[in-house]
Amino acid sequence: MYKIIIILILLIILFYMVRRAARAWIEPKPDEATPGKDVMIQDPVCKTYVTTGTAIVEEVSGQKYYFCSQDCAKHFRREGTA
């Protein structure tokens, strides 16, 4: 009788482990912020669209800005979006 209870407990543990593993495997992880992903973002200086993977990233007062080139990033730091 004890053996049956132990086997049942082991089966329940196994079931939960398999279910967790299956869920982690099936559900895609949120990877929007992953560098290299081609998300189109507008350069605030020259209005060109750049991809986050290739853009120059500048963080100004906690916010990230993406630029097509170092020149645009420099311009933004000096004069803002104007």
76 lies in the binding site for Zn ion (CB under 5 A): no
Which residues contact residue 47 at a Cβ distance below 8 angstroms, ignoring those fewer than 6 apart?
Answer: none
Q: Which is nearer to Zn ion, 34 or 70 (CB)?
A: 70
Q: Which is nearer to Zn ion, 24 or 50 (CB)?
A: 50
41 lies in the binding site for Zn ion (CB under 5 A): no
Q: Which is nearer to Zn ion, 9 or 53 (CB)?
A: 53
User: How far is 48 from 65, CA to CA, in rounded Å?
Assistant: 13
Among 39, 41, 46, 56, binds Zn ion (CB under 5 A): 46
Q: How far is CA 50 from CA 32, 59, 62, 67, in A?
A: 16, 16, 20, 7
